[in-house]
Structure 1
Amino acid sequence: MANYEERIQDTYTGEIAIIKSNDWYIFNQKKENKLASWEKRGHRLHKQQTKEEGLEEANRLTNEALENIKNMKNILKYTLGIDDKINWESLKDYKKFKQFKFDLQPPDLNSYLLQAPRWSIFEYIFKSITIKRKAILEEKRKEHELAMERFNKNKERKIAEYELEKKQFEKLQEKHNKEVEDLKSRFEKNEPEAIEEYLDLVFSKSKYPDFITLSYDLLFDESRKTIIVNVELPDPDSLPKEVDYKYIASRDEFTTKVLKKKEFSELYEEVISQIAIRTVHEIFESVYTNSIDFVVLNGYVNSIDKKTGNDTIACIVSIQAEREYFNSLNLTKISAKECIKGLKGLIASEFINLAPVKPILNLNREDRRIIESEAVIDDIDSNNNLASMDWQKFETLVRDIFAKEFAGEGVDVKVTQASRDAGVDAIIFDPDPIKGGKFVIQAKRYNNIVGVSAVRDLFGTVMNEGAVKGILVTTSNFGKDSIEFAKDKPLTLISGAHLVHLFNKHGYNVNIKIKQK
């Protein structure tokens, strides 16, 4: 046996070697040489593996880039094989409520009886032993009865909770299905609001590549049988330009090849044109009633003005299509841009430059939900407790204070109807082209803390309305979850204290006294 011996292992490949020698110097030299050899081989293998992985990743990225280009060129083609009509039944909820489960097992009598002493031969001699054993048995039976009673009560409580939960589930399910039926009925009766809601559903189900996000603003003009659609289109910088990736092993980095300026300009024109024609197609195909004869589409792009650095919005395409003529087109063979021209559409000379055109027909900002309401703010004094006043009066009061806040800026603040207001109690219209837009207000005359569900609902309303901001006003306060949810979102939360401050700012002395439970 050698004087010196050690088992070593290569951590990269797992190879094992036994180093032996009778001489300490030779032993160390052998070990160092072996470890150095392994390190050199490991570095070479790692470099080779990195190169292979890099080449594989470059190939994957290239395929993904080419797929992106292909998807952008087939935006219109994609929808032609799909029936855009809403399947009403698919909107309904027919899920079965979960089965009742109670995992606990009833107490076992034998397990209790086994805790009592067993019969023994001494019971023939000592009667007291028998008496004691039987007493313990009786005691264990009673313990089992009590345990069984607790078990049954627990199970009954769980069943009651389950039945209540099931009843609530079925009630919400029934409410949802009735809402679907109600929308279907109103849509087929050609009610304007229902037509707009229906088309919102159509567009929400319309699938585009992940990097394309569209938003729609709709108005149905019943007298003209015309739907006006404002579409927020993707700006050029949001679309991928990459067509090829290379991996440079010597620098361990990727290089990217992008479309030439002219190629990308042509692609962008194709994308915008196809989105416009596709949107018109989806409307005419999905609306199976006789309510719509014309579609007017205005395509807008929000971007940054490279000259000023300011936000800007430009209408770069506007078209009007008549149903009968549009349905006669063979959309599988058209050029989307030429089709727009054939529809006498207005288009920028080059979409890529975002040169604005005048919309054929503007979407009227007037909202059918808006109602006229008398000002109530001048009748308010310190004797009025905002937390206990009539809720409709409170909503009008909120409108009045915001009208004061925005006075002199050309801003309109309107109150909406109490029913079918989609969660909107007031609407602010700010005509400023940069900081303006549509703001929705919800007024909560609460005595309790406003939960996060109300803030979530407001955010959903902002998205559905295409608003730039949502404002939630309450006479009480907001919970921690509500404040956390509103962070980094276009939401403003105004608590009771802030509301009082707002009134004081404009010279009105009001108070809020929360009812204590």
Structure 2
Amino acid sequence: MTKKYETDFAAYEQAEVERVNTLAVEKDRFRQELDDHNHSIDQFIANLSYGDAEAVKEYISLVVENSTYPDHFEVTHEFSFEPKTAELRMSVTIPTPDSFPAIKEYKYLKTSDEIREVPLSQVEIKKRYASVLHQVAIRSLHEVFEADRRGLIRTISLEVGTKAQHPATGRLSFLPFVGVSAERDRFMEFDLSGLIPLATLKHLGAAISKDPVALIAVDVTGVRKS
């Protein structure tokens, strides 16, 4: 063997030892991270089964994060959970009426060789915005109750509205357009495939804005909460 070969072989052996040691360290680190992850999941499940407020809030966060809406229709959620009464209080914010699509269709005018927008009438805008508002309210109740297979949440007190300048104060505020309280057992009896959102909200005794497009908020103090 030449001196160079012996040197190269020794360097290879040293590198191989270092590689094996590094691999062993990484395996131990991975096992520890996996054990920690599994432990955190087990702890989360245990806390959730006990109705721990933080665990319930974390779980609901996962539910609403996976609630997808169209990119142009941003929906945000804020909520709190009261373990003593098993009540979830949720506030859902939808886009303002003036950001809502107001184009009915596009028409091609042959005489001028141009495409012209045909706007929705004010009546149509009001109907569409109100319809979406009512659908979001029912969907929000359904998503939470459906995901809560353990039945930890017995009641949801829900407000759906938007953030805009308050007509009376000029200050940016959350303006509730729907306020409703729903009990789990009662709501889960509904057949969502056959209901009309507005009718369901009225059936639940909801406070509903008569004109959300005009930013007319509802008084939610009359909506039952624990």
Superposed pair shares fold, TM > 0.5: yes
Q: Secondary structure at the match of 1:332?
A: helix
The match for 1:186 among 47, 58, 66 is 47
Is the counterpart of residue 316 in structure 1 residue 177 in structure 2? yes
Is the counterpart of residue 146 in structure 1 residue 14 in structure 2? no
Is the counterpart of residue 294 in structure 1 residue 155 in structure 2? yes
Asked whether the 8 Å contact 2:81–2:87 carries over to 1, the reply is yes
Asked whether the 8 Å contact 1:227–1:294 carries over to 2, the reply is yes
Cα deviation per residue 1:381-410 (whole Å; 9 max; x = unaligned)?
Answer: xxxxxxxxxxxxxxxxxxxxxxxxxxxxxx
Q: 1:328 Cα deviation (Å)?
A: 1.9
Q: 1:255 Cα deviation (Å)?
A: 3.5
The match for 1:211 is 72
Is the counterpart of residue 235 in structure 1 residue 121 in structure 2? no
* Structure 1 residues 163 and 265, CA gap change in structure 2 (3 angstroms): farther
Q: 1:233 Cα deviation (Å)?
A: 2.2
The match for 1:327 among 188, 194, 214 is 188
Higher share in strand = 2
Asked whether the 8 Å contact 1:296–1:319 carries over to 2, the reply is yes
* Structure 1 residues 239 and 153, CA gap change in structure 2 (3 angstroms): farther
**What is the CA–CA distance in structure 2 between the aligned matches of 1:232 and 1:347, rounded to whole Å?**
15
Number of aligned positions between the proteins:
225
Q: 1:274 Cα deviation (Å)?
A: 0.8
**What is the CA–CA distance in structure 2 between the aligned matches of 1:176 and 1:194, rounded to whole Å?**
16
**What is the CA–CA distance in structure 2 between the aligned matches of 1:252 and 1:157, rounded to whole Å?**
74
Q: 1:259 Cα deviation (Å)?
A: 2.5
Q: 1:152 Cα deviation (Å)?
A: 2.6
Cα deviation per residue 1:423-450 (whole Å; 9 max; x = unaligned)?
Answer: xxxxxxxxxxxxxxxxxxxxxxxxxxxx
Question: 1:45-444 alignment to 2 at 5 Å?
Answer: 141-245=2-106, 254-304=115-165, 310-360=171-221
Using structure 2 for the length normalisation, give the TM-score.
Answer: 0.85
Q: 1:308 Cα deviation (Å)?
A: 7.8
Instruction: Return 5+ residue gaps in structure 1 as ranges.
Output: 1-137, 365-517
Using structure 1 for the length normalisation, give the TM-score.
Answer: 0.40
**What is the CA–CA distance in structure 1 between the aligned matches of 2:17 and 2:110, rounded to whole Å?**
69
Asked whether the 8 Å contact 2:126–2:213 carries over to 1, the reply is yes
* Structure 1 residues 250 and 261, CA gap change in structure 2 (3 angstroms): same
Q: Secondary structure at the match of 2:149?
A: coil
**What is the CA–CA distance in structure 1 between the aligned matches of 2:55 and 2:87, rounded to whole Å?**
14
* Structure 1 residues 256 and 153, CA gap change in structure 2 (3 angstroms): farther
**What is the CA–CA distance in structure 2 between the aligned matches of 1:168 and 1:363, rounded to whole Å?**
48
Bigger Rg over Cα:
1
**What is the CA–CA distance in structure 2 between the aligned matches of 1:166 and 1:258, rounded to whole Å?**
63
**What is the CA–CA distance in structure 1 between the aligned matches of 2:139 and 2:145, rounded to whole Å?**
10
Q: Secondary structure at the match of 1:289?
A: coil
**What code does the residue aligned with 1:264 have?**
I
* Structure 1 residues 161 and 248, CA gap change in structure 2 (3 angstroms): farther
Aligned residues with identical type, % of pairs:
25
Q: Secondary structure at the match of 1:256?
A: strand
